[in-house]
């Protein structure tokens, strides 16, 4: 698997086509059809990248982006039929990493997704899913963790917890979200440190 993508698009025909294309490329894809569904999906199962339409029911893409940036630095590519410069500027200022206007070339979208994942350290040049933070590198395919190129032995629970926490570094999560998965209680993660963790 190359990575996990949340696709937020209310046009169901387009969403279905993009989901098929992304899955064919090896990505795991979750789909949300409105802004509220998107914010719930982001909290329940954080993705590696978000493809976010702007014109959404309930909450528009700008508001989804604004809320997401309060707790996460996950990459965001905005998709929209709006092509005015002010719309692009606003999206980028709110924290989007890239912006594409409809209609767009699907191959170009794929290329941008892969480029962003490589740039943010979540995929290497060979397409393997990676997470990097400083000198720490986690290979999510081989289940290996290295620091300064030296492998770090971890228990299964330690590895699972680290793989859950690293993508949301700089943000915070509900303790129950983590405790339900790993039997641990985590209150916050900031500047790469666990502020409070127990029950490991």
Q: What is the pLDDT of residue 85?
A: 84
With 0.75 as the threshold, say if the pTM is over it. Answer: no
Measuring CA to CA, which residue among 144, 107, 139, 143 is closest to residue 126?
A: 139
Contact predicate 98/112, CB 8 Å: yes
Domains of the chain, each with CATH number or no CATH: 3-119 (3.40.50.2300), 130-198 (1.10.10.10)
Q: What is the pLDDT of residue 12?
A: 94
Cβ density class 100-117: b for 16+ within 10 Å, e for less = beeeeeeeebbebbbebb
- Bridge partners of residue 147, in order along the sequence: 136, 150
The count of other CB atoms within 10 Å of the CB of residue 93 is: 9
- Bridge partners of residue 31, in order along the sequence: 7
Question: DSSP characters for 21-89?
Answer: HHHHTTEEEEEESSHHHHHHHHHHS--SEEEEESS-SSS-HHHHHHHHHTT----EEEEES---HHHHH
Mean pLDDT by 10 residues, the chain (200 residues): 86 95 92 95 88 93 92 88 84 90 91 85 56 75 80 83 71 53 47 48
Q: What is the pLDDT of residue 39?
A: 93
Q: Is 94 exposed, middle or buried (0-12, 13-18, 19+ CB in 10 A)?
A: middle
Contact predicate 183/156, CB 8 Å: no
Q: What is the pLDDT of residue 141?
A: 63
Q: What is the pLDDT of residue 188?
A: 46
- Bridge partners of residue 185, in order along the sequence: 198
First to last CA, the chain: 28
């Amino acid at each position: 698997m190359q990575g996990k993508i949340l696709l937020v698009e209310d046009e169901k025909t387009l969403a279905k086509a993009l989901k098929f294309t992304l899955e064919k490329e090896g990505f795991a894809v979750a789909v949300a059809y409105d802004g509220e569904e998107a914010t719930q999906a982001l909290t329940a199962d954080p993705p590696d990248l978000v493809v976010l339409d702007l014109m959404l029911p309930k909450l528009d893409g700008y508001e989804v982006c604004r809320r997401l940036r309060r707790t996460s630095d996950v990459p965001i590519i905005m998709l929209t039929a709006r092509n005015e410069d002010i719309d692009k500027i606003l999206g980028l200022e709110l924290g989007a990493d890239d912006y594409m206007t409809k209609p767009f070339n699907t191959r170009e979208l794929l290329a941008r997704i892969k480029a962003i994942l490589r740039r943010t350290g979540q995929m290497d040049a060979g397409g393997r899913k990676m997470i990097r933070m400083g000198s720490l590198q986690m290979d999510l395919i081989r289940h290996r963790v290295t620091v300064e190129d030296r492998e770090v032995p971890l228990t299964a629970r330690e590895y699972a917890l680290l793989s859950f926490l690293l993508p949301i570094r700089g943000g915070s999560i509900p303790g129950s979200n983590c405790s339900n998965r790993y039997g641990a209680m985590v209150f916050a993660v900031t500047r790469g440190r666990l502020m409070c963790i127990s029950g490991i």
